[in-house]
Each structure stands twice: as C-alpha cells, then as structure tokens.
C-alpha cells in the first residue's frame, strides 16, 4: 500500500531531524572556524542533470531509498497512486509530474554524507540548474537509453564540462526497448570528446532486461522487482560460475551476447582513470533502470568511492590585472555563497530560504559573519539542513554541505552573495545567467486584491531568480512589475504560485519584445543612461523599449536580432550591449 502524504512528510521530517542531530565525528580546535579534515573527507555532493522525462526524479528517490533516507520511493507521477515524489514539492510539480525547481536532499550512506541536488530538466528552468551546478562537486548525466543524448542533456553537460566537474553517466530505462549500449557510448564520445569507462553493462533490454554486469567485481546482478516503492531483490553471481549465470539469466541468446560484450569491453574500452574522471576528461558509465532499481546500488557505491570531495572555489579578482585565486575547504575561516532562493518552503510562515553552499571552514549555530556585498554583520542564529521541502535546525555544517538560511527582513540575500567569517572579504566567481526572452506585466485580475499580499508574493518569488523584475523607464514605483523570463513556463509558475501561495489571482500581459540587452552594465547607472540617451538622440534606437533593472541600469528590449546586431556592430555608439549583468559590487 502506498504511503499517504502525511506519512511521507513524517519520514522527511524524521530524516532531517536525524541528520540535524547527528554529532560531528571529531571536535575542532577552540576558537577556530576551520573544518575537521574527517568531515570534509566524508562529504559527497552531486547534481543530477538530464533532458525532461529521462527519469531524473525517479533516480533521485531510488538513491534516497538505498541511502535509507526514505522507507518507500514515491512515484514521479502523482496520478500513479495519489502521491507525489519527495523531491517535487511545489504544487505545479505535483500536478504535472515535472521538476521545475532544484531540490536539495541530504542523507547518510555508510560513513559518508551525500548532498544530492535534483534539478529541473525543462529548458525554461535551465538557469536554476546552472546555479545548482555551481554548487556541485560532481554531476550525474542521466541518459534515456531509448533516446540517447537529447538537446537539454547536451546543453547542461556543456556547463558541467566547462566547470570541469567529474561526470558520472547513468543510462536509464533499460527495462524499456533501448538503443545498443555501444551506440550510446559512441554518441557520448563523439558529442563530448570524452573517454567512456564502462562500469556496469546491461543484460538485455525491454521485457528481456535481466540486470547488469558489474565490470569491476565481474559479478552479474539479477533483479526481481519488489512491491511498488520497495527495493528490488537482487542475486549476485560471479561471472566465472557460468552455469549459475546461465540459469539466472534464463535466455541463451542473452548469455551469449553478454559473453561477447564482456570481451569487447575489456578490449575496446579504457580502464577507469581517476585523474581523467576528476578533471572531466573521462566519464564513468553505468547502465540500469531506476524504476526497477537495476544498477542503482552499484552506481551509488562507486560514486561514494570515486566522487570528488568538496573542491576549492575560485575567488573573483578585485582588479583586472590580478590573478584569480582559489579558496580551499581547509581554510581557517567560514565562507559560503547563496546559489538559490526558495520562497514558501513553509507556506504557513511565508518564509524565503537562501540555499548556501559552504566552501570553507565550519558553520556553527549563532556564529557571526559578514555579508560581503554590503559589509553588513550578521548573526546566523539558525540554519537548516534541507530535505526536499523539509528542514530542521542544525548545530554545525561543513564544506560541501548545503544549508538553508532565512532571508532577513527586507530581502537582504541575493543569488551569488558571499558570507564569511574573519576580516578578509570574500567574493566568488559569478554564477552563470541567461538572457530573458519573454516579457510581460504581472497584474492582479480581481478588483480589491490585497496589495500587501501581491507585493509580498512578487518580492519573494522574484528573489528566487527564476524571473527578473524590470521597470519601464520613467514609470512610478507603484506601477505593476514588468517581468522578464527565459521561457513561458516560468510565467505560468509565477501566476500559479501567486494564486496558490499568496491568494492573489494574476495574469501576465505580454509585451511584444523577445530580446533583452544591458547597456554598459559596468558603468554607474547615470553614466550608462548617458550613453543610451546619446544614441537615442542620434536616432539609433527607434523601436526600442527602454527599461531599467532593480539597480536602475538601462535594459533595452528589442523585437528582432537584426536590430541588436546592427547596434552591436556600430562601434561609434559604444553601447556595450550584454545579454545579462551581474549585481554591482557595491549594491545595497
């Protein structure tokens, strides 16, 4: 029988509480913010990336199941049995069976602590995925075995590769008709220029799928599905016991194919090279079926063994001529950065949670830190360990951990903000951003709608960074916000959440522009607008919509790429057009 939503909530809360209360494995030096080496060593951090419908949320929950973080895996589609997945907690996610927001889930596996980040696969939410990848030390590229590499997989893998993240590849859905495993390997090698080290290999596919060959141990793993949501039963057989393998597989053709594939793997594929894996030049490849559990456990075991430990992060150079430096997890002071904002994890309290990746040092409840962008001192009185929509107060945390901090009144935190202890200021490399392509005014549709609820909803949802707030130049502060989004689905999410979480029915009134460019974003707003006004006075900006961002910097909206290209190629105008802009270093 499936678990009720209430039971799932209890499991989530119990897991978060167990993690929060689990003591550190050693004590630190008195008055030191350095993290113990043992705590750094045992942490593993990964983000799962894929094209939509590759089975990402199912794999996420099966990893939680094998990590004993949940007792029964939730089905991805809410309609399967009236339940939604543990990692999909927004209302629209539950209704549509898709992930539209990155989720952080933490669990213990043996002696290790795993921080797992489930990301949205939909292209309209790529920006959220990019930010999550900035906080990851490893990436799992999930591939649909029946479809091979798909557009969103290619796009997100490119980000992981540029970040030099170790990439583990899990080829999923072998319980359905699938491509030849050799075709999949060829695609990965040809598309990404990667060496592919085979770690598990499928035995059949579709209705004939039996299990996997574990290449390292030379064992055959045969699976029998358990009750819905429970772990499958598995039989492990040494390949050398040919009679037992043949009996367990029960298909002469598959046994012969396995023997041939096993020889070809040894002859044609490279052995795993730890250095190549850690630098992103090689990917470890696993085949299986998350839905039927096949291949999940050997993958998780190997990830713990091979995955990168918490890695240093690059600091932003203060001057163009300065060399960039890195901050190691073993530093003497605490440092971390905000990579995600999430409103209403607790709808009753209308909270807004900042997700902070700890880079260096030890977090301790009640510690004093500096908000680097503003120089404002803060006391971190409470922090939470996150488990989907569940959270529990923790006493300490270490590099590689993701902690949740309540955004102070007034919305102090922004994506990319750094927090640090000690006197030396810290600024990390900027997090990638996308140029918006959809624009429209958000307006209440009912007379007498609460202005307070409307404004709070706008402030909190826009703080998440999925959409941006612009304002037409010259308009007053009371005007309805002009939203800018990468894709249409982001607008749908805002409208849905304004109604469901803040009780304000809204609609988006679209404006007919499809391209945004920031003009001279490195200059002060006054100087940047002076450049724009000069070009406007020369008649060069006919048909352009003039907007400003929350920092009063000029944002020009265009109807076609031809106009953008013309202006970018006109050196005399010196507009310095950019598809996105970072918050200014001295932003309030």
The architecture CATH gives domain 433-581: 2-Layer Sandwich (3.30)
Indicate whether 172 pLDDT > 80: yes
Tokens coding 155:
């796009």
> Would strands 167-172 and 138-144 be described as parallel, antiparallel, or unpaired?
parallel
* For helices 126-135 and 151-162, angle between their N-to-C axes, nearest 10 degrees: 30
Indicate whether 5 pLDDT > 50: no
Tokens coding 227:
């009750």
The architecture CATH gives domain 37-104+118-205+271-306: 3-Layer(aba) Sandwich (3.40)
Q: Report the pLDDT value the prediction gives residue 298, as an integer from 0 to 100.
A: 97
pLDDT band at 73 (very low <50, low <70, confident <90, very high): low
Q: Report the pLDDT value the prediction gives residue 10, as an integer from 0 to 100.
A: 41
Indicate whether 447 pLDDT > 90: no
Tokens coding 319:
């001057």
Tokens coding 541:
């900006």
CATH class name, domain 326-420: alpha beta
> Hey, is 561 helix, strand or coil?
helix
H or E, element range at 326: strand 326-327
In the block, residue with structure tokens 């309290």: 349
Average pLDDT on 556-576 reads 96
**Per-residue pLDDT tens over the stretch 401-426:** 999 999 876 678 988 999 999 988 89
| Residue pair 461/92 in contact by the 8 Å Cβ criterion | no
Q: Report the pLDDT value the prediction gives residue 81, as an integer from 0 to 100.
A: 39
More confident residue, 325 or 318: 325
Alpha helices in 22-80 (DSSP H): 37-41, 56-66
Average pLDDT on 555-576 reads 96
Q: Where in the chain is the domain with CATH 3.40.50.300?
A: 37-104+118-205+271-306, 326-420
Q: Where in the chain is the domain with CATH 3.30.70.3280?
A: 433-581
């Amino acid at each position: 029988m499936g678990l009720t939503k209430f039971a799932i909530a209890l499991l989530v809360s119990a897991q978060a509480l167990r993690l929060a209360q689990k003591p550190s494995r050693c004590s630190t030096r008195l008055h030191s913010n350095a993290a113990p080496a043992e705590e750094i060593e045992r942490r593993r951090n990964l983000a799962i990336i894929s094209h939509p419908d590759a089975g990402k949320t199912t794999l996420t929950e099966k990893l939680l199941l094998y990590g004993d973080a949940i007792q029964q895996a939730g089905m991805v589609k809410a309609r399967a049995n009236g339940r939604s997945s543990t990692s999909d907690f927004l209302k629209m996610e539950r209704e549509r069976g898709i992930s539209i927001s990155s989720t952080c889930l933490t669990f213990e596996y043996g002696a290790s602590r795993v921080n797992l980040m489930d990301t949205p696969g939909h292209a309209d939410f790529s920006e959220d995925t990019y930010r999550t990848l900035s906080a990851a030390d490893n990436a799992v590229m999930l591939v649909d075995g029946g479809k091979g590499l798909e557009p969103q997989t290619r796009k997100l893998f490119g980000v992981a590769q540029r970040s030099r993240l170790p990439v583990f590849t899990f080829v999923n859905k072998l319980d359905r008709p699938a491509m030849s495993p050799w075709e999949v390997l060829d695609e990965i090698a040809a598309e990404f220029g990667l060496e592919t080290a085979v770690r598990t290999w499928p035995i059949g596919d579709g209705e004939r799928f039996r299990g996997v060959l574990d290449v390292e141990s030379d064992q055959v793993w045969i699976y029998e599905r358990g009750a819905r949501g429970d772990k499958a039963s598995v039989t492990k057989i040494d390949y050398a016991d040919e009679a037992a393998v043949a009996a367990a597989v029960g298909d002469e053709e598959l046994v012969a194919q396995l023997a041939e594939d096993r020889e070809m793997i040894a002859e044609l594929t490279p052995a795993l090279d730890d250095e190549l894996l850690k630098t992103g030049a090689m990917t470890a490849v696993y085949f299986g079926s998350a839905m039927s559990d096949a291949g999940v456990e050997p993958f998780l075991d190997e990830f713990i063994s091979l995955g990168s430990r918490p890695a240093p992060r690059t600091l932003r150079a203060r001057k163009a001529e300065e060399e960039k430096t890195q901050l190691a997890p073993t530093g003497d002071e605490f440092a971390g950065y905000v990579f995600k904002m999430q409103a209403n994890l607790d709808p009753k309290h209308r909270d807004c949670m900042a997700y902070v990746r700890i880079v260096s040092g030890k977090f301790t409840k009640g510690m004093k830190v500096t908000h680097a962008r503003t120089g404002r001192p803060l006391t971190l009185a409470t922090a939470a360990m996150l488990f989907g929509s569940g959270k529990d107060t923790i006493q300490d945390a270490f590099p590689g951990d993701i902690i949740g901090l309540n955004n102070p009144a007034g919305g102090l935190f922004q994506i990319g903000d750094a927090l640090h202890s000690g006197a030396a200021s810290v600024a990390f490399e900027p997090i990638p951003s996308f140029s918006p392509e959809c624009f429209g005014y958000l307006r209440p549709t009912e007379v007498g709608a609460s202005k307070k609820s409307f404004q709070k909803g706008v402030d909190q949802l826009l703080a998440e960074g999925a959409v941006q707030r612009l304002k037409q130049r010259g308009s007053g502060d009371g005007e309805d916000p002009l939203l800018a989004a990468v894709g249409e689905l982001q607008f749908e999410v805002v409208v849905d959440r304004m109604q469901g979480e803040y009780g304000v029915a809204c609609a988006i009134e679209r404006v007919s522009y499809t391209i945004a460019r920031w003009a001279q974003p490195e200059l002060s707003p006054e100087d940047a607008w002076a450049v724009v006004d000069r070009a406007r006075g020369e008649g060069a900006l006919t048909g352009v919509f003039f907007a400003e961002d929350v920092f009063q910097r000029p944002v020009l909206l265009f109807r076609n790429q031809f106009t953008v290209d013309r202006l970018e190629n006109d050196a005399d105008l010196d507009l310095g057009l950019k598809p996105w802009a970072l918050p200014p270093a001295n932003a309030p």
